[in-house]
Amino acid sequence: MKIKYTLTVLGLSCLALFAQAKTLPSQVTVKTELASPVVLVDEAQPNYLKVSLIGDPIKNQTRVPINLALVIDRSGSMSGDRIEKARQAAIMAINMLNQDDMVSVIAYDSDAKVVIPATKVVNKTQLITIINQKIQANGMTALFAGLSKGINQVDKYLDKSKVNRIILLSDGQANVGPTSVNELAELAKIAASKGIAVTTIGLGDDYNEKLMASIASYSDGNHAFVEKSADLEAVFVNEFKDVMSVVAQEVTVTITLHDGVTPIRLLGRDGNIDNNTVTVKMNQLYANQEKYVLLEIVSDEEASEQQKTIADVTVNYEDLVNQQAINYEDYIILTYTDQEDDVKQNIVEAVLAESEIQKVTLENEKALQLYNQGNITEAKELIIENANKLKVLTSSFASPEASNRALEQAEKNQIMADSIDEDSSDVYMKKATEFQFDSRQSTIKQK
């Protein structure tokens, strides 16, 4: 594979055969791999092309400034401990920010109001006083209006050199203004087009988990289910760990397949397949975390040469830490052989593991459909079957990395199956939605 990185002032290239990872004076390592870089001649089999983006550790203590909107549900159902914990979480957020950051706070009930317009975090005491005064429970749930105003506030000081983020909290069903999943998803797409990620936090067992997960998915934010309000602050802490470790944003991965290679489907992250060109966008990348694009492909059975280039890969992103635009270029080589042992010896188990994890995630969706149709026993059996597939795969891997990944996912699947008998249907669907969301995000925390 040929690798070329282009910075605003720097370009370089190097050669490799099957997979290549290169770290520049940038905060991101890009790696491209095929699950089977060597295949048998005259035998068309599915293959998996994985493009990984790994956020490297931030070496100094200076983090990227944040442009944040807190959008908080203050409807009547939030009364009591929930609204108190929401205020505490918002105050904690204020205290974690500094004078280089921007913050706004939007509260929504039967309408949405900007209680703190976008401002620098200078006078924390004043901001906290406003939160304590204005975040009081009453009315219905105008979620669309709240998110719209959150986008508007972040947009006022939108800056490619900052982390542009919204944290949306709700405990109930949207029931004022536009309320459908499609309408809220369109709003999330608008946020994404501006480079704003929306993290959604569902509190309790009465919110619309599909709607909240869709908002987060379309804007490339996070999604969390908080069953007990006492756990809300801990979720905010985890979210801020991500927000404060963003190293790159406005990421575009483009895979151009050569003649004779057919794209079958993207596994995990959504994207666009237009003939032989595949495009996937990501809003933000975090330090100490890998996000990947996984494409299932099929190449021609016949090969006129031992090796051939099957795809070009381009990755563009904004490096926030070093304040530079990065362009990465690579090409993918496939090798043909008539020796089956050569194929087996060159399998990249880490890629194969992720392909199986994503296929199990799709099968889990079928199980959740069965669950929603009342076929509880069948749903549980399918989830357990999926867990067992990964356990069998684990035992076949020589790579500890691949084995651990498959085992981790198998154990989560087993927990997902056990929860069917332990939780109410409302709680179960929220736990399962969170689990499925995390799996589809194609994210691996670095140890």
Q: From 292, 327, 328, 330, select the one nearest 309 (Cα to Cα).
A: 330
Q: Rounded CA gap, 217 and 203, in Å?
A: 18
pLDDT confidence band for 445 (50 / 70 / 90): confident
Q: Rounded CA gap, 16 and 326, in Å?
A: 20
pLDDT of residue 430: 96
Q: Rounded CA gap, 32 and 13, in Å?
A: 15
- Tell me the C-alpha to C-alpha distance, in Å, between residue 277 and each of 255, 256, 272, 303: 6, 5, 8, 22
pLDDT of residue 196: 96
Q: Which residues contact 235 (CB under 8 A, 6 or more apart)?
A: 89, 201, 224, 226
- CA-based angle 328:331:337, to the nearest 5? 155
**Between 17 and 108, the higher pLDDT residue:** 108
Average pLDDT over residues 110-130: 96
pLDDT of residue 217: 94
Position 213 pLDDT exceeds 60: yes
Tell which phi-psi region holds residue 286, choosing left (phi > 0), alpha (psi between -120 and 50) or beta: beta
pLDDT confidence band for 224 (50 / 70 / 90): very high
pLDDT confidence band for 27 (50 / 70 / 90): confident
Average pLDDT over residues 1-17: 37
Q: Which residues contact 60 (CB under 8 A, 6 or more apart)?
A: none
Q: How far is CA 259 from the centre of its chain?
A: 31
Q: What are the beta bridge partners of residue 327?
A: 6, 316
Three-state secondary structure along 339-383?
CHHHHHHCCCHHHHHHHHHHHHHHHHHHHHHHHHCCCHHHHHHHH
- Tell me the C-alpha to C-alpha distance, in Å, between residue 187 and each of 151, 219, 291, 345: 9, 9, 24, 48
Average pLDDT over residues 162-174: 93
Q: What is the pTM of this model?
A: 0.90
Position 25 pLDDT exceeds 70: no
- pLDDT mean across residues, the chain: 90
Average pLDDT over residues 194-222: 94
- Number of C-beta neighbours around residue 237 at 10 A: 13
HSE toward the beta carbon, residue 147, CA cutoff 13 A: 34
pLDDT of residue 63: 86
pLDDT confidence band for 23 (50 / 70 / 90): very low
Q: Rounded CA gap, 348 and 337, in Å?
A: 16
Q: Which residues contact 234 (CB under 8 A, 6 or more apart)?
A: none
Q: How far is CA 314 from the centre of its chain?
A: 20
Position 128 pLDDT exceeds 80: yes
Position 55 pLDDT exceeds 90: yes
**Between 42 and 161, the higher pLDDT residue:** 161
Average pLDDT over residues 342-369: 96
pLDDT of residue 172: 83
- Tell me the C-alpha to C-alpha distance, in Å, between residue 400 and each of 30, 37, 56, 403: 21, 20, 21, 5
pLDDT of residue 15: 30
pLDDT of residue 357: 96
Share of the chain above pLDDT 90, in %: 81
- Pairing state of beta strands 163-170 and 197-203? parallel
Q: Rounded CA gap, 20 and 52, in Å?
A: 10
Name, of 40-49, 177-186, 362-371, the range with top average pLDDT: 362-371
Position 88 pLDDT exceeds 90: yes
Give yes or no for a contact between 433 and 210, defined as CB atoms under 8 angstroms apart. yes
- Tell me the C-alpha to C-alpha distance, in Å, between residue 320 and each of 79, 141, 222, 335, 378: 40, 36, 20, 37, 47
